[in-house]
Amino acid sequence: DIQMTQSPSSLSASVGDRVTITCQASQDIRNYLNWFQQKPGKAPKLVIYDASHLQTGVPSRFSGSGSGTDFTFTISSLQSEDIATYYCQQFENLPLTFGGGTKVEI
Amino acid sequence: EVQLVESGGGLVKPGGSLRLSCEASGFPFSTYSMNWIRQAPGKGLEWVSSISTRSKYIYYADSVKGRFTISRDNAKNSLYLQMNSLGVEDTAIYYCAAQGDTPIPWGQGTLVTVSS
């Protein structure tokens, strides 16, 4: 199974800050990586697909980069509505596997 | 509207069974592989099972193998998960997720609670 190591597990930032989350795969997953946002009591919402593509309707302050084993998710200017837990997910191989999540707080 | 809607969750006693459904709309369901993913209370996301477009390839997590059965009906744009011999460790929100050419938003999930 492909292990996804996500860091940090939590972070605290201020409105307007740049926030960066990393995800490392245990083997090459090319660009088969998604990033999800999950707010309390809600379903995960796809934010970035194929490592760097912004899902329709998602604000442009969100971005993703990377390929192979190392990936980065960035919020360029944190807003209060971005408070959530973020997960990376690989879909190169089954089983689909997820990072442990990053809880973003203000 | 592109949509996945899960149903069929509920409260069941240990050892019991449930059948979850996921109804798809707004995209060519038959061309997408489908997955069930679950999230236990306060925990992360766990893949449960996958099924290919024509049901030829089916995979399960070790934790559910032999107890859960995934299936689909492309004519009805529907995905199913038959869950037998349920244990407390199966308590979770179950989401269906589509995998194909275009990203498809996940549904809201259906809650399965296994408790005596």
Indicate whether A85 pLDDT > 90.
yes
How many angstroms away from the CA of B75 is the closest CA of chain A? 26
- Report how far residue B27's alpha carbon sits from residue B109's, in angstroms, rounded to the nearest whole number: 19
What share of chain B in percent tops pLDDT 90? 96
**B47–A100 CB contact, under 8 Å:** no
Helices H / strands E in chain A, number of each: 0, 11
Contact B44 A43 (CB under 8 A): no
- pLDDT tens, residue by residue, B27-63: 999 999 999 999 999 999 999 999 999 999 999 999 9
Model confidence pLDDT, tens digit, residues B32-42? 999 999 999 99
Q: Of A45, A46, A98, which has the smallest distance from its Cβ to B45's Cβ?
A: A98
* Residues of chain B contacting residue A46, judged by C-beta atoms under 8 Å apart: 103, 105-106
